[in-house]
Amino acid sequence: MGFVIARRVLAGIPTLLGVTVILFITLRLLPGDPISAILAGAPATPEVVEALREQFGLDRSIPAQYWEFLTNAFTLNLGTSYSTRQPVSEMIGQQVGQTLILAFAAATVSAVTGIVLGSLSAIKRNGVVDGFVRVTSLINTSMPSFWVGLLLIMFFSFTLGWFPATGSGSLSTLVLPAITLGLAAAGTVTRLVRNSVIEVLGENFVTALHAKGLRSRLIVMKHVLRNAVIPTVTVVGLQLGGLVAGSVIVETVFTRQGIGQMLVQAIGGQDYPVVQGVVLVIAVIYIVVNIAVDISYSFIDPRVRTALGKG
**Options 15, 72, 141, 255; binder of other proteins; rule CB under 8 A:** 255
- Among residues 234, 278, 98, the alpha carbon closest in space to that of 174 is found at 98
By CB under 8 A, is residue 154 in contact with other proteins?
yes
Residue whose CB is less far from other proteins, 83 or 136: 83
What single letter denotes the amino acid at residue 118? G
The CA distance from 301 to 134, in Å, is 28
Q: Is 166 among the residues that bind other proteins (CB under 8 A)?
A: yes
Characterise 32 by phi-psi region: left (phi > 0), alpha (psi -120 to 50), beta (else).
left
Q: Is 57 left (phi over 0), alpha (psi -120 to 50) or beta?
A: left
Tell me the backbone φ, ψ of residue 30, rounded to 5 degrees: -60, 145
Nearer to other proteins by C-beta: 96 or 224? 96
Question: What DSSP element (H or E) covers 138?
Answer: helix 128-142
Task: Choose which of 65, 99, 119, 168 interacts with other proteins (CB under 8 A).
Answer: 168
**Least Cβ distance, residue 50 to other proteins (angstroms):** 7
Considering only residues 84 to 113 of the shown chain, the ones binding other proteins according to CB under 8 A are 84-87, 91, 94-95
Judged by CB under 8 A, which stretch of 113-121, 188-196, 249-257, 288-296 contacts other proteins?
249-257
Of the pair 267, 295, the CB lying nearest other proteins is at 267
**Exposure string for 51-85, b = 16+ CB within 10 A, e = fewer:** ebeeebebeeeeeebbeebeeebeeebbbbbbbee
Residue 133 Cβ vs other proteins, minimum distance, rounded to whole Å: 30
Binder of other proteins out of 19, 24, 38, 89 (CB under 8 A): 38
- Site residues, other proteins (CB under 8 A): 30-34, 36-45, 47-48, 50-52, 55, 80, 83-87, 91, 94-95, 146, 150, 153-154, 157-158, 161, 164-168, 252-255, 257-258, 261-262, 265, 267-270
